[in-house]
Structure 1
Amino acid sequence: MIFKDCHIMRNGFLIFCFVVLLAASPERAFAEDIHRIPEDRSKAVFFVYYQIGEDQYPGANIQLERFREHIQEMRSNGYNVLPLPQIVAALKNGTKLPHHTIGITLEGAYRSTVENAVPLLLEAGLPFTLFITPERVDRAGGFYADWQDIRRLMRNDQVTIGAMPYTFRNLTRLDEDETRRQISRARARFREETGSVPELFAFPYGEYTAGVQDILAEYGFTAAFAQHSGVAAQGASDLMALPRFTMTDRYGGLDRFRLTARSLPFPVTEEIPETMFRDEDISASQLIGFTLPESLRDAEGTPACFISGIGKIDLQITADGRVTVPPVENFTERRTRMNCTLPVLSAEETKHREQLWRWYGRIFVTRSAVDIEEDEEEDREISGGTGTSSDEDATAFNE
C-alpha cells in the first residue's frame, strides 16, 4: 500500500499521507528497531465510537461495514486489544504493555451500539468498555439501551461498564455542589441497577477542570477519559484525562485507523496555557507552548503542529527544546483542536520500513458569557438524537 507525502488539516482533523511500504509480515511493518524513549515501554491507544450503523447521524456514526473492517484489522495485524482496567493498571504501575496495545470505548449507550457493535465485538473476542449516562438508560428503551441490556452485558467478561454524569451535562459549567450531585446520583443508579459502581469515567464533550478531576478521584474513580488526540503512556499521561481517537464515518477510514493505532507517545512538559480554557478577550494574544523532553530533542525530525481552521503553523523551537506557537489571531470557534506530530523514522529509514508518528493533541475552549448561556440551554434540551460530544457531534471535537 502506497501513500504520498502530504499533511492536511480539515475541520480540526489531522490527516497524514506519506510513503509507506507495508511488508508482508506485520512484525516487519511495525518497525521494532525504531528509536525508543522510556514512555514507549508502557503505552496504549484508546478509540471511542458513538453510534454504529445509524447512517442518518453521520456526525457521530460509523458505518457498520467500516466497523467490521476495524475489528478485522485489530484481530489480524498484530494488535493487542486489552480491557481498559488492565491498561489503566499498567499505566499506573509502570507495567510493560504488549506491542500495539489498544483499548476500545463505546460511549452513549445507544441502542444501535448494543444491537450492532456489541455482538461483533463479543464474537471477535475483543474486550471493550461501554460508558453510559444513567438518565438516558432510565428512559427504558427507544433510542438508548435499558438497564436490562446493561445487566446482560455485564455478565460477559469482555465487557466493562464506565460512568458518565447522571445526565449528559458538561461538568465544567456546573458549580461544585451540582457536579457532586451529578456524580453521586450516577453512582447510586449504577449501584441500584447493577449492584456495583464503575471505576472509569468519561467526560461529556471531553471538557474537564482540575476541580472536576479531584472530585472524581475523591469518589474513587481510577481513570477518566477525555477527547483530545494522543497516545497514553506511563509517566507522561494524566490518568484522569486520558486521550482518545474518535472513529466516525468521516474520520474512521481504515488507513486512518492504522495510522492512529500505531502512533507513539509524544510526551511534553511545561504546557501553556495550563488548562484547556481560553478567555475570549485574550485568546488572540495568548501563546501556546510546550517543552520537549531531552529524549526527543535529538530526534531525526522536527515537530509539526496543526490547528483546526488554520492548518499547519510555524513553530519557534529553541535549543533547550522549548516549542512555542505564535499568537493565533483567528480562534473563531468555541472549540479548537491542536495536533502536533513528530516523525519517528528518517527519510532514509522509511524507504524500507513503515513511517510512524508521535502524536500530541490538545483541545482549547474559548468561552464567553454568551457561549455559556447557549451551551447550558443546549445541555437542558439534549434528548434523543446524537447529542454526543461537540460542535458537530463527535467529529469536530476529535482529531
Structure 2
Amino acid sequence: MPEAHGPRAVRLLPLSGKSDGALRTLAGRYLSWLDERNGAAANGRSAVDSLLADMAWTAGIGRSHFAHRAGVVFDDAASLRAGLSALADRSNGPGGCEPPKTAFVYPGDGEGAAAAAEALYRSEPVAKALLDRCDAALRAEGGTSLLDRMSGESGPEQALDGPALYALQCALTALWSSVGVRPSAVVGLGAGELAAAHAAGVLDLEQGIRLAVAREAAKTAASEDGLDAALAGIAFRPPTIALVSGVTGRALRSEEVLETACGLRHLHEPAAYGPCIRTLADREVGAVVEIGPRGSVGPTIASHWPKSAGGAGEAGNGAGGPVVLPGPGAAGGNGSAPDGDAGFVEAVARAYEAGLPVAFAGLFAGETRRRIPVPGYPFERRRYWVGSLKT
C-alpha cells in the first residue's frame, strides 16, 4: 500500500498584474521581501517552509488576480528566488489572458499511470480519499487491491488496467475540482469514456468501478457476454455538461448515453481523435486538461486542431490551438523536489497562467495557514497636470 501523504513539498506563488511591467516589478518586490527575511533560516528549515507556505497562501487567497499572470513553483527559498529572478529579468511576457472555456480529455492509455497514482496518493489528500473509495469498491467487486497495484505489491505492471485507470482519472477530476477548475465539456477515449461519463454526472463513482471491471473482463475474454449483467440496475443520468463520444466525436444526447452505455457497446471501435478535437474547436474551447498520464494528448490535439479555429496557443500567447495542461507525470519544479510531487502543482501554475480561475485554498488541503504581510501591488501611477485657466 502506498504511504499516506505528508506535508506538501512543492508550493505555488501566484503573481499577477494589470501589465507585464507591473508583474515584473511585483516579482522584484518579492525578491526584496525574501532578502529581508534571511534571518528566518536561523530558526531551521521547518520555520522557513512554514513562512513560505504562509506567503503562498496569502498571495493566493488574499490578493486580486489580474490578466498578466505567472505561477512560480518552488520547494525551498533557493528555488523560489531563482523563479522570481527569472520573472523579474524577462523582457516580455506572453500578454494578458481572459478565462478560456475548458474541456477535460480522458485518454484510454494507462501507461505510466501507476507511478502517477502512487504519487497522488502520497501527496494529495483529495486524491487519496477518492482512491481509497475506489479501492473499497474494487474489493467489493471481487477485484484485487487497487492500492497494492499502484505500489507494485501485486506484481509488475506495464500499465494500469481499466478499473485502476478509471480510479486515477476520477481522482484527478476531483483534484482539479478542489482548486476550482471544472470543465464545460468532457471527452472520453477508449477506457477513458467511463471516467468522462462520471465527470459529466452520468454515473456514480462505484457504478463506474463495476463497469470498468466488466469492461476489463470483456477485453480479456474477447467476449461481451457479461456486459449486460453489469449494466443491469444502472440508470444512466442525463449529462450535466457536454459529453463528447470518443467513437463519433459528437456531444451525446441523453438517449444516446443509454444506447452506447458509456462506450461499452463499442469496445472495438477506434477512437475518433479528429472529430472529437473538431467538436472542442467548434465549442471555442481554449484550454484542454489531460486527465491521465502525461504526454499523450498534447501532440494529438496540436496535429488535429483546425487552423481556422485559432485559440490561446501552447504558451497562452495567441499562437493558435488551445492551451494543453498535461497530466501529473514527470513534471519537475524549479528545485530538487521529487518530480511526482511537483506534477499537479506545475499543472495548476500553467492553468493559472492560462487565465483559468483557481481556488488556491485547494492546494492547502489538511493544512492550517495564516495570512502574513507580503508585498503590495505596484500601482503604475501617472501624474496629470492641469494648466492654469486664462480669464
Q: TM-score, normalised by structure 1?
A: 0.26
- TM-score, length-normalised on structure 2? 0.26
Higher relative contact order, chain-length normalized (CA < 8 Å, sep 6+): 2
Structure with bigger helix share is: 2
**Larger C-alpha radius of gyration, 1 or 2?**
2
More strand per residue: 1
